[in-house]
Chains A and B, each alone.
Chain A
């Protein structure tokens, strides 16, 4: 009787121990997320870029065929996407979202800049990019660059891109695979957040407004 209840206690102990290990394991698996958030306030819908990161010091070429780096946009709160002009689905959607964000920002829109970075330099020359970005908004900036510069730039945002095999005989008809986040960079040139494709415009507007507010108080 006694031994039996002792055995039961041991069984309970083991069970409790197992439960503790499972709970601890679960906590651990969430911990990196919690730790990564660190200093920036986590925002539902967006993913904080860890410690605010300096944007890469890479010079690209803008839609007017002039050299431009993100440092040239300091003083503006920047929202940026990667894409290519022949992209039929994701990129125009992202660009439409940026246009909506700009419209919703209203009177503080002039403190924001919106950037499209083409990862398809073979087809997207500055002359091709210009009418593309302007079709969405006259103020939008389009950047591209040579392959090494683009790679350095995109990798610095933990992004990826890759040219896919041409779908038919025409070598000019192909798809680019690319990271489809929207990036938020503050007026000090620090990358703060990234948002998965499909994040509601309301979330982007809210975070842009909040960032513009703090940027404004810090810089002016």
Chain B
């Protein structure tokens, strides 16, 4: 009898603990729940054409033939470069653009051009960019841009490629980017 009592008591104890844990989880859940999920759509995604690869080859050939002091760096260490721009619209709760991936280039980073001491310079954005509630984030020349370094194949006007935007909410949004002149 006694032993049974204790056992029942123990059972209730576990039940109670479980209830407490579930209740706590339920309490903490409403915090993200009050923040509605973001609803992201992207428009006007475009990227600048790269400077032609043959032009770069010409540069390398030219400089190898010269021995002037101006020609000590014989070739570019890195490949063609481009930047992608777009308008990221959000009809839901606030989110953050955390990163971008794709096959178009070896390195893809989100950068910000900013003015500092009267000069324009560029910084990698590491802590994400806010996409406000029912608002938009515009990536545009002179501001935020997606930098494409070592573009694998040249980008010519009319070409398209895919990027995937990664958000703080865990959402991944695929984007079709069109290559065109600004």
Residues of A within 8 A of B (CB): 61, 65, 85-86, 88-90, 92-93, 96-97, 121-123, 125-128, 130-132, 134-135, 144, 146, 160-162, 164, 167, 170, 172-173, 175-180, 197-198
Contact = CB atoms under 8 A, between A and B. Distances in A.
Contacts of A61: 70
Nearest to B58: A131
| Top 6 A-B residue pairs of the complex, sorted by shortest distance between their CB atoms | A131-B55, A177-B121, A127-B62, A127-B63, A177-B119, A180-B120
Contacts of B149: 88
Given A90-B113, A197-B142, A131 B122 contact: no
B23 interface: no
B76 A128 contact: yes
B48 A92 contact: yes
A162 B120 CA distance: 10
Contacts of A146: 69-70
B77 interface: yes
Contacts of B182: 92-93, 96-97
Given A89-B83, A93-B141, A122-B73, A127 B59 contact: yes
Contact of A177 (B52, B66, B70, B120): B120
Nearest to B54: A131
27 contacts: A85-B51, A88-B82, A88-B148, A88-B149, A89-B83, A89-B113, A89-B147, A92-B83, A92-B182, A123-B73, A127-B59, A127-B66, A128-B59, A131-B51, A131-B58, A132-B51, A134-B55, A135-B55, A144-B70, A164-B121, A172-B78, A177-B116, A177-B117, A177-B120, A179-B118, A180-B120, A197-B142
Interface string B85-96: 000000000000
Interface residues of B, number: 42
B51 A135 contact: yes
Contacts of A160: 117-119
Contacts of B62: 127, 130
Contacts of B73: 122-123, 125, 128, 172
Contacts of A167: 124
A125 B71 contact: yes
A123 B122 CA distance: 18
Nearest to B61: A127
Given A86-B81, A146-B70, A178-B120, 11 more contacts: A65-B68, A88-B82, A88-B149, A89-B122, A92-B182, A93-B142, A122-B73, A123-B73, A146-B69, A177-B119, A178-B121
Most buried by B among A127, A167, A173: A127
A176 B115 CA distance: 12
A41 B17 CA distance: 81
Nearest to A129: B59
A121 B142 CA distance: 23
A157 B116 CA distance: 18
Contacts of B115: 180
Given A92-B48, A93-B182, A172 B119 contact: no
Nearest to B64: A127
B127 to A, nearest CB: 16
